[in-house]
Amino acid sequence: MSALSSWAQGIDLSRIIEWLMYAAAALIAISVHESSHGLSAYWLGDDTAKRMGRISLNPLHHLDVVGFLMMVVAHFGWAKPVPVNPYRMTKVKSPKVGMALTAAAGPISNVLLALIFTVGFCVCLEFGGEGLWHMWLGYREPAGWLYYLMSFFRCCLVLNANLAVFNLIPISPLDGSKILAIVLPDKAHAWLMRYERYGFIVLALLLFTGVLDGPLSFLVNGMARGIYAVADPLAKAIAGLFS
């Protein structure tokens, strides 16, 4: 019993709670991100994702276990790719354009999610008092249920901003490579598609060596500041309706 008690005392409960918050935030982020791909394709004329049940907010339809764990631990990761057929996107002038629009829908959805949760954070800040401002800076101090709610909103901001920026990297299989294709000449696009299968290897090497750490951190922080700049006046306006 003493050994079990010592083990229990050694558990960092706050870290476990943080992981659980990131897990919940990850499930929301991947469900909306992948569904946005499928819904965008459907609006453009391709019902492949709809027929396969991938336009759904049920995270089990999109979950990739390794990618999910990466999102919880490293705050970036991936889900099961949504099947789409750009040649069935008859509402755009070319399959390349349709694929780019469908790809862009995922990161855009994450930016919008980050904005929504940041507005929630700022609304809580308005009602919770300036004493909770330290939470935005990453410091911890018990503050009841409001602390945990704001912590969850902050996790959602961090994870969605990371996911949006990460997916905009123009390396296959990330969304950025499909968006890049829209500005490439046909010959360059064909060359890119020829070596698409090696993209994941290149991406893994860049991540493993830390080459992308600086640029990703800079872009994520910039996106977070921009989102906050939009969210703060919106939150003040919402709080004003109830004051």
Question: What CA–CA distance (Å, rounded) separates 217 from 231?
Answer: 21
229, 213, 218, 224: which is closest to 110 by C-alpha? Answer: 224
> Which helix (H) or strand (E) is 89 found in, with range?
none
162, 164, 32: which is closest to 111 by C-alpha? Answer: 164
205 exposure class (CB count in 10 Å sphere: 0-12, 13-18, 19+): exposed
**Residue 150 · residue 126 · CB < 8 Å:** no
Question: Residues with catalytic annotation?
Answer: 34
